[in-house]
């Protein structure tokens, strides 16, 4: 058994909106082609940002940053990746005359990571941070990246975030959330200046 506790990491969940109706309308090969195209691109972003793909389950994609190797910019790395994911999705909005969109949710905080299994090993994550990230996705809006206060506090200088207000989140009550809107133009200018 391998298990580690991380004091600060960031988790992202992305889910294809309206996937179940698509499975009724498209052939199996078309569904796989759609997911393969999207997830292959997402996988290339994993390499670009040096983050960790945890798993895909159906049309759900889970990524973490700050695990298995801690890094101080874990939230920023996933914010950049989420924006790139969103840009890619919106640049290809139609698949076989069907609108394709994602909900993305992000949360930051402590978590436990480890490898489980006897025959087939799997690296996975546990804890309230993970559950809340999942809830950010499920309570989010199609085409938007919803983040928690914990993530907002880590990225607010570098990224433009729009307050969403309070959202009722299963198992958490009301949480104040934001939409990640882009890179803060002031930050982009300050980092470009020598």
Question: Dihedral through CA 125, CA 35, CA 21, CA 180, nearest 10?
Answer: 60
Query: Where is 88: in which H helix or E strand?
Result: helix 74-91
Active site residue 172: no
Secondary structure of 43-81 as H, E, C letters:
HHHHHHHCCEEEEEECCEEEEEECCCCCCCCHHHHHHHH
Marked catalytic residue, from 135, 149, 156, 186? 135
Spot the catalytic one: 170, 172, 186, 188.
170
Residue 6 backbone dihedrals phi, psi, to 5 degrees: -115, 130
DSSP secondary structure letters along 103-167: EEEEEEEEEEEEEE-SSS-EEEEESHHHHHHHHHHHTS-TT-EEEEHHHHHHHTTTEEEEEEEEE
Pairing assessment for the beta strands 101-116 and 145-148 based on DSSP bridges: parallel
Q: Among 66, 148, 56, which Cα is nearest to 106's?
A: 148
135 is catalytic: yes
- Show which residues are catalytic: 135, 170
């Amino acid at each position: 058994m391998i298990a580690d506790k991380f004091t600060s990491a960031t988790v992202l969940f992305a889910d294809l909106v309206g996937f179940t109706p698509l499975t009724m309308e498209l052939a199996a090969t078309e569904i796989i082609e759609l997911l393969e195209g999207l997830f292959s691109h997402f996988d290339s972003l994993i390499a670009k940002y040096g983050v960790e793909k945890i798993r895909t389950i159906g049309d759900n994609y889970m990524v973490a940053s700050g695990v298995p190797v801690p890094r101080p910019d874990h939230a920023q790395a996933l914010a950049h990746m989420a924006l790139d994911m969103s840009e890619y999705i919106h640049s290809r909005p139609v698949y076989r005359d069907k609108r394709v969109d994602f909900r993305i949710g992000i949360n930051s905080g402590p978590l436990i990571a480890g490898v489980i299994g006897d025959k087939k090993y799997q690296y996975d994550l546990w804890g309230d941070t993970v559950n809340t990230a999942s809830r950010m996705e499920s309570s989010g809006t199609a085409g938007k990246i919803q983040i928690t206060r914990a993530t907002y506090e880590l990225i607010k200088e570098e990224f433009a975030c729009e307050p969403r207000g309070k959202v009722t989140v299963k198992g958490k009550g009301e949480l104040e959330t934001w939409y990640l809107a882009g890179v803060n133009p002031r930050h982009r200018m300050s980092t470009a200046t020598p």
